[in-house]
Amino acid sequence: MLAPLPASDWNETTAAHLLLRTGFGATQQEIQECAAAGLDASVDRLVDWEKTPDPTADPEWAKPDPTLAEQRRALRNLPEEERRMKFQEFQRQQREQLHELKQWWLERMRNGPRPLQEKLTLFWHGHFATSAEKVKIAYFMWRQNDIFRRLGNGPFRNLLLEVGRDPAMLVWLDGAQSRKDAPNENYGRELLELFTLGEGHYTEDDIKAAARAFTGWTVNRFNQTASFQKFNHHDGRKTFLGASGNFNDEDIIDQILGQNQCARHLSNRLWSFFAYQNPPAALADSLGDSLYRLNYDLRPFLKAMFRSREFYSARAIGTQIKSPVQWLLATAKSAEMARFPGRAAIGLLTQLGQNLLEPPSVKGWDGGRTWVSTTTLLLRQNAAKLFVYGGDPGGVMFNREDMARRLEKLQELRKTEGKEGAPMEDDPMMARMERMKNRNNKMPAMIDPRKLAPAGTPDDNAALIESLLRRFYPTGAPAAAGKAFADYLAQSPDKSLEEKTKGLAYLMMARPEYQLT
């Protein structure tokens, strides 16, 4: 088992590290409370999140729609043209709901009372990476998200089984179309390669056997549930990972979990996400053994990880490149953002390379350095500027040129639909795009300097720098920066406290070090 952090090393820096990694940012007050509560109690509170009430309501549409079956039947009798229009209307509605879902989730991450629950949900979303681009039904995406939220800290077996029977996954990796006489291997392959064992620890025949064992599970598009069709299940002998029998999906999962390699693969993924990438071999061994011995029960494993001395080592603290979501939400928290980009946040995150619920492939986001390119780094710096000073959002919160091009395409489409003259309000998405395209220099600042340096703050340069650094760099200020900030203030001694605060906040967020957490 991992060696625990000695009590003497528990302080505001280690507490801040715990909160940043298990959540999406932390205020000064939260850090102090966490440090005072102690390591064990803090970890328990984070991992045993069920004990913290969460009053957030699900999106209003997040349930099966019983009228859908009737609607679909009615569609069949319509003339082709009308059917097409109805279908487009349906697609528009799904896109709207998906957008709502993204915001709903982001809001939970930002303000929800159970940060680790959302952080783990994000981890599982990246692990079982499923994209709405193919799934298309917003309710299915919500339902999968909810599986991660409900089962994220429990036994991995439950989660794995549920994911295999999840409508979104059945659509995403083609299980819904798998037939007993022609099994689709897509899910079987990714299950072994990405979700459990990792490449090189199974054969092509194992994939085929798994695919056969999973046949029968499909999506009922009418009542929007997964269902098992016995007649379509391959009811026969299979050989999988060296064992033979008439296996079904549960048997396959048990065979996989019986391999130490699965524990090794999964624990490595968890460690890379929460602590740092590429743990040394000895640590990887001990993490894998630990998860295996715990019978894949994630709750005690997570606690051991977050209590371990290694989790607070120099290799871990302040070394991880912030994902776009982490960057945005930690900024909102640290700067006590007076406003939040809200709907526009989704566009910003997409431009920064993390479009929630639409990962680039089944491999999820590679993370680490791949979050940062010359373009996304400039974008992060420009967004920081926009947060502090306000300004034209067109080059930051969305891509104005792309928007214009998409709008043009949509307008052409309307022409072919014969709706050329119809008012834009017909289509809320187009209307919104039109408004955004034309919005110039109008976004107000989102950070209020009076929150960063409240009235009564003494106008003392050194003290101001010190307090802002604590805010923006909770686990430690960048070594080389101190002098630069002092020099900046020294440039123009006549500045108001408010102007100085804004300038410093921007400069602190524009630094390369700010991209680390």
Partner 1 sequence: MKTRRQFVHSSMMGLAATWTLPSFLDATILGLDARAADSAIQTATGKDSPILVVLQMGGGNDGLSMVVPFADDAYYRSRSQIALARDSVLRLDDYAGLHPNLAGLKGLFDNGDAALIHGVGYPNPNRSHFRSMEIWHTASDADKNEHYGWIGRYFDSACQGQPPTAGVNIGSMPPQAFLSAKPMGISMASPNRYKLIEPGDIAVADARDGQMVPMMADGENIAGSRSGSSIESLGAANPANDGLSNLQYLERTALDAEVSSQDIQRIVSAHKSATPYPSSRLGEDLKLIAQLIAGGLPTRIYYANLGGFDTHANQKPAHDRLMKEFSEAVTAFVADLKEQGNFNRVLMMTFSEFGRRVSQNGSGGTDHGAAGPMFLFGGAAKAGLHGKHPSLTDLNNGDLKHGIDFRNVYATVLEKWLKVDSTPVLKRKFATMDLLKA
Residues at the contact surface with partner 1, assessed by CB under 8 A:
199, 319-321, 351, 353, 361-363, 368-370, 372-379, 381-382, 385-386, 389-391, 395-396, 399-401, 405, 408, 479-481, 484, 487-488, 491-492, 495, 499, 502-503, 506-507, 510-513, 515-516
CB of 184 to partner 1, least distance (A): 13
Closer residue to partner 1, CB minimum distance, 159 or 509: 509
Classify 54 as helix, strand or coil: coil
- Residue 141: closest CA among 99, 178, 176: 99
Sorted by sequence, the CB contacts under 8 Å of residue 244 that are 6+ apart come out as 237, 238
Closer residue to partner 1, CB minimum distance, 158 or 350: 350
Sorted by sequence, the CB contacts under 8 Å of residue 328 that are 6+ apart come out as 341, 345, 348, 349
Closer residue to partner 1, CB minimum distance, 223 or 496: 496
CB of 350 to partner 1, least distance (A): 10
CB of 170 to partner 1, least distance (A): 18
CB of 351 to partner 1, least distance (A): 7
Distance CA 292, CA 288 (A): 6
CB of 382 to partner 1, least distance (A): 5
CB of 499 to partner 1, least distance (A): 6
Phi, psi of 396 (to 5 degrees): -120, -55
Distance CA 137, CA 139 (A): 6
Closer residue to partner 1, CB minimum distance, 281 or 314: 314
Classify 227 as helix, strand or coil: strand
| Rg over CA atoms, the chain | 25
Could you write out the three-class secondary structure of 346-415?
HHHHHHCCCCCCCCCCCCCCCCHHHHCCHHHHHHHHHHHHHHHHCECHHHCCCCHHHHHHHHHHHHHHHH
CB of 177 to partner 1, least distance (A): 12
Closer residue to partner 1, CB minimum distance, 321 or 429: 321
Q: How long is the chain?
A: 517
CB of 220 to partner 1, least distance (A): 22
Distance of CA 394 to the CA centre of its chain: 24
**Residues 56, 112 contacting (CB under 8 angstroms):** yes
Closer residue to partner 1, CB minimum distance, 57 or 479: 479
Closer residue to partner 1, CB minimum distance, 54 or 499: 499
Closer residue to partner 1, CB minimum distance, 34 or 211: 211
